């Protein structure tokens, strides 16, 4: 049996089997080529930068053989070629030979990675358009005459071998050295090496994260052992992380937790963090004041306080703080 690269028909294509897309037709061709002698190597669905080669056949005694597979029935009229969907009878204009010429240029360009680009320009090659669903017609348009394969030929592996060794061979032969070089290029395994510096960086990050977690847990144990606790630190020292873990720990113990802050951004961040934790309430200072006033005196007083805030921007913040604090004092005395 021929060596197939990859060894199995693409699973995504095998699931599709859509006549318009040609997946079912490609599966038929794959099965037929697989029955060729073991001196053949057949590439399937070789992807390049701009297009994909359906099949590429490598044999030392033949040229490089390109196959473009077209499902459905071949229809030729008015000097044009079409594939007809057997179910819908819809026609799709095709130009497989032009596709194959473009694919050859892409392949030669791609072989530069294996230092084969210059040599590949001299490789003998031949194109075949393959129509697995059609029997060979009595006549063909000139562009397909002698450059087509049909379903009745695919059913006989020995017939395929004869075609490649006769029709194709008259264009030349790759030779054993070129054939082997191509096989090695297409079957090579490329495995990226790990980035040592990044690996060290990731290890350091993991160690820092582990050390931070251990430090936070130690602080939480100290805080829980004291009724009052003050944590001080400059920006980025982990105060918010410590607060978050402390609130999470208390909530897991069944405690209700109120987190207050002054900054709106921090409020939104913490609210997002604890949105699935009903026992944790997050509010900035002014929202907490407003909620407290509304609960104690009703919404009417709260609205009166807000109306008083319709002042110029340069006095607004000071007046807001004073009004709310005065209201809280009133709330405290009333309780």
Q: Express each pLDDT in 167-214 by its tens digit.
A: 777 888 888 988 888 888 888 777 777 766 666 766 766 665 666 677
The residue-averaged pLDDT of 285-294 equals 82
Q: What is the pLDDT of residue 300?
A: 75
End-to-end CA distance of the chain: 93
* DSSP assigned state of 167: I
Confidence of residue 261 (pLDDT cuts 50, 70, 90): confident
Q: What share of the chain is helix, strand, coil (3-state, %, to 5)?
A: 50, 15, 35
- What is the reported pLDDT for 326? 53
State how far the Cα of 182 lies from the Cα of 258, in Å rounded to an integer.
70
Q: In this structure, what are the phi and psi dihedrals at residue 255, rounded to the nearest 5 degrees?
A: -85, 150
Q: What is the pLDDT of residue 256?
A: 92
What is the per-residue DSSP string for 210-251?
A: HHHHHHHHHHHHHHHTSS-------TTSSHHHHHHHHHHHHH
At residue 29, what are phi and psi to the nearest 5 degrees? -65, -40
What is the spatial order of strands in the sheet that 91-93 belongs to?
A: 73-77, 80-84, 91-93
Give the range among 28-37, 109-118, 124-133 with minimum mean pLDDT: 109-118
Which residues have C-beta within 8 Å of that of residue 207, sequence separation ≥ 6?
none
pLDDT of residue 40: 92
CB 71, CB 24: distance < 8 Å: yes
Of the candidates 182, 66, 179, the residue with the CA atom closest to the CA atom of residue 127: 66
- Mean pLDDT for the chain overall: 75
* Domains in the chain: boundaries: 3-187, 231-334
pLDDT at 251 exceeding the cut of 70: yes
At residue 42 the predicted structure's pLDDT band, cuts being 50, 70 and 90, is very high
- Rounded Cα–Cα distance for residues 303 and 325 (Å): 15
Let me know: does 59 contact 120? Beta carbons within 8 Å: no
Q: What percent of the chain has pLDDT over 90?
A: 4
How many secondary structure helices (H) and strands (E) does the chain include?
13, 11
Q: Would you call 139 helix, strand, or coil by DSSP?
A: coil
CA distance 139 to 158: 23
Q: Residue 137 in contact with residue 74, Cβ under 8 Å?
A: yes
**Mean predicted confidence (pLDDT) in 255-280:** 88
Instruction: Give residues with Cβ within 8 angstroms of 323, minimum separation 6.
Output: 305, 308, 309
């Amino acid at each position: 049996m021929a060596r197939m690269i990859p060894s199995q028909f693409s699973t995504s294509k095998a699931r599709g089997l859509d006549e318009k897309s040609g997946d079912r037709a490609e599966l038929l061709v794959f099965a037929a080529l697989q029955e060729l002698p073991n001196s053949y190597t057949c590439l399937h669905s070789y992807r390049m930068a701009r297009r994909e080669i359906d099949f590429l056949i490598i044999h030392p005694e033949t040229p490089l053989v390109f196959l473009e597979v077209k499902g459905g029935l071949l229809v030729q009229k008015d000097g044009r070629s079409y594939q007809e969907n057997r179910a819908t009878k819809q026609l799709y204009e095709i130009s497989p030979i032009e596709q194959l010429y473009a694919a050859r240029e892409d392949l030669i360009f791609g072989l530069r990675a294996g230092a084969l680009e210059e040599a590949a320009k001299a490789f003998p090659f031949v194109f075949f358009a393959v129509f697995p669903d059609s029997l060979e017609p009595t006549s063909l348009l000139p562009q397909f005459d002698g450059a087509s394969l049909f379903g009745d030929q695919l059913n006989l592996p020995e017939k395929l071998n004869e075609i490649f060794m006769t029709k194709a061979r008259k264009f030349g032969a790759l030779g054993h050295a070129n054939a082997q070089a191509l096989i090695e290029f297409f079957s090579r395994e490329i495995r990226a090496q790990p980035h040592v510096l990044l690996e060290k960086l990731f290890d350091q990050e993991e160690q820092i994260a582990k050390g931070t977690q251990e430090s936070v847990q130690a602080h939480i144990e100290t805080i829980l052992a004291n009724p009052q606790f003050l944590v001080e630190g400059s920006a980025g020292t982990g105060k918010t992380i410590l607060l978050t873990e402390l609130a999470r720990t208390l909530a897991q113990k069944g405690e209700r937790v109120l987190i207050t802050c002054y900054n709106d951004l921090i409020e939104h961040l913490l609210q997002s963090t604890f949105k699935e934790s009903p026992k944790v309430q997050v509010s900035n200072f002014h929202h907490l004041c407003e909620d407290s006033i509304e609960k104690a005196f009703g919404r009417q007083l709260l609205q009166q306080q807000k109306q008083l805030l319709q002042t110029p921007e340069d006095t607004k913040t000071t007046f807001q703080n004073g009004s709310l604090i005065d209201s809280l004092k009133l709330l405290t005395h009333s309780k």
